[in-house]
Amino acid sequence: MSNQTHSISRFPLVRKFWKPAVATGAGGTTLIIWFEEIIAFATDFIGVILLTVLGGLICLFDNFIFKSRIPRREDLQDIKNNGVKK
């Protein structure tokens, strides 16, 4: 049997932020506002990361799709021969 004097919290983030939340406000409501702000910051940060990833994917897609529009060597030789194909 173990003799523990303190209860183990399942949420270590709550243990970390409860003192500043209680010092600045009424407790529960302030905690919700703090977590809402943290989540809002995280979603903005994730959005910026995903925007850069999506931009890279669009550039790769553009490169692979429109690579066929680059003139080939055979096409340039046809222009030199006045359009006469062999």
Question: Do 32 and 18 form a contact (C-beta atoms < 8 A)?
Answer: no
d(CA 67, CA 13): 50
Q: What are the φ and ψ backbone dihedral angles of 62, each rounded to 5 degrees?
A: -60, -40
pLDDT at 58 over 80: yes
Query: Which residues, 6 or more positions from 69, have their beta carbon under 8 angstroms from its beta carbon?
Result: none
Query: What would the pLDDT profile of 6-26 be if each residue is shown by its tens digit?
Result: 656 566 766 777 676 666 666
Average pLDDT over residues 24-31: 68
Verdict on whether the full-model pTM lies above 0.85: no
For residue 84, give the amino acid letter: V
